[in-house]
Amino acid sequence: MKIGCVREIKPQEFRVGMTPGAATEAVANGHEVLIEAGAGMGSGFADADYVDAGAQILPDAAAVFAEADMIVKVKEPQAVERAMLRPGQILFTYLHLAPDPEQTKDLIKSGATCIAYETVTDRNGGLPLLAPMSEVAGKLAPQVGAYTLQKANGGRGVLMGGVPGVAPAKVVVIGGGVVGTHAARVAAGMGADVTVLDRSLPRLRQLDDMFGKTFRTAYSSRATTAELVSQADMVIGAVLIPGAAAPKLVTRDMLKTMKPGAVIVDVAIDQGGCCETSHATTHQDPIYEVDGVMHYCVANMPGAVARTSTLALGNATLPFMLALANKGWKQACYEDPHLLAGLNVHAGHITCPPVGEALGMPFITAHEALSV
């Protein structure tokens, strides 16, 4: 198979979908690897590294899209990239379709087979291709939140760890999965007073067992969320219902009860965000204010630490990329229901029910797509 990888064109996105290491593996498996010139630069990989791996460098994205049977990326394809997809081509990348009707319509129109990293599952109920970037974004969240809390950046002027005689910042993390756990650990490590909310009691028990001395846990009801949010210096949004739009747990009314200069870091923004007042921002212009509350809502946070993120993502995607290339998408998905769970769009159909439900658009199941 011809596997193509293009330079990411989303603003300030420096990750790349394929490392030279992954290219080496693909070539060793008998595939041709086509890399857009400069694709790896932002992550510290030169074209020569890919050539050493046995890949071919093509001058631009158009050449890669035209030749490749499968495109491997990081972020959802932008409009100009979507226009280059064709029926039968495989797209393997993050998609986050539930809050994005325009992208969804374009992918349907393309006729391509689009497999989303974020809905691939594993046998433990986890999301193995989302997890590495959730680890990164979770660890970044208190870091960017602490910067936003500084007075000159619009924040309350509160230091995360406080000092002797002065209380630390109160941090509330909504969602105790991968993002939430990493965010809570880092925020607690900075000395903040941290509470993690989740609606899964088994998850709260696990967190309490593992981190009971590091941070508190609370059940995610409306009333508890409202109370904790009103007291918080920083709220970190980290919920997920796989494939679906994020539930709006912090309402506009709750925002009015927050302290002036408090900060919301809505990591869940790639699924639409869990605060009613969140909208996606970019690394170029990451922060905005509503009702005196500072919002940081960058939808590709891991792009800020591209080298770490590219390596971490590459480790996770490699076996799935090889399965798709070695067996073809249909056989690979037929043999592996966890990879099949990643199928979001195929041959003009939405194939991920939560996406169809979120957008009010018709859908078939991924299983049905195997016979389309």
Ligand X SMILES: NC(=O)C1=CN([C@@H]2O[C@H](COP(=O)(O)OP(=O)(O)OC[C@H]3O[C@@H](n4cnc5c(N)ncnc54)[C@H](O)[C@@H]3O)[C@@H](O)[C@H]2O)C=CC1
**Residues contributing to the site for Mg ion (CB under 5 A):** 258, 291-292
Total residues contacting ligand PYR by CB under 6 A comes to: 7
Max alpha carbon distance in the chain (Å)? 67
Contact assessment for residue 199 and residue 229, using Cβ atoms and an 8 Å cutoff: no
- What is the phi-psi region of residue 215: left when phi exceeds 0, alpha when psi lies from -120 to 50, beta otherwise? beta
Establish if 20 lies at the interface with ligand X (CB under 6 A): no
What sign for the dihedral angle of Cα 2, 337, 341, 265? negative
Tokens of 303: 């792009």
Name residues contacting ligand PYR, limited to 146-185 (CB under 6 A): none
220 counts as binding ligand X under rule CB under 6 A: yes
Give the per-residue contact string, 120-159, with ligand X (x = CB under 6 A; - = no): -------x--x--xx--x----------------------
Q: Which of 31, 69, 96, 198 is catalytic?
A: 96
What residues contact 28, with CB distance under 8 A and at least 6 apart? none
Assess contact for 100 and 125: CB atoms under 8 A.
no
Question: Among 92, 94, 211, 320, which residue interacts with ligand PYR (rule: CB under 6 A)?
Answer: 94
- Considering only residues 69, 100, 106, 270, which one is a binding residue for ligand X as defined by CB under 6 A? 270
Distance CA 262, CA 157 (A): 9
* Residue 271 partner contact from ligand PYR, ligand X, Mg ion, none using kind-dependent CB cut-offs of 5 to 8 Å: ligand X
Q: Does 197 bind ligand X (CB under 6 A)?
A: yes
What the block records as the tokens of 201 is 């009691």
d(CA 277, CA 284): 20
Residue 302 binds to ligand PYR (criterion: CB under 6 A): yes
349 tagged catalytic: no
Binding of ligand PYR by 300 (CB under 6 A): yes
Active site residue 96: yes
**Site membership for ligand X, residue 232 (CB under 6 A):** no
Please work out, in degrees rounded to the nearest 5, the angle formed at the alpha carbon of residue 361 by the alpha carbons of 360 and 367: 120
| CA-atom Rg of the chain in angstroms | 21
Site of interaction with ligand X (CB under 6 A): 118, 127, 130, 133-134, 137, 174-180, 197-200, 203, 220, 238-241, 246-247, 249, 267-271, 299-302
Active site residues: 96, 270
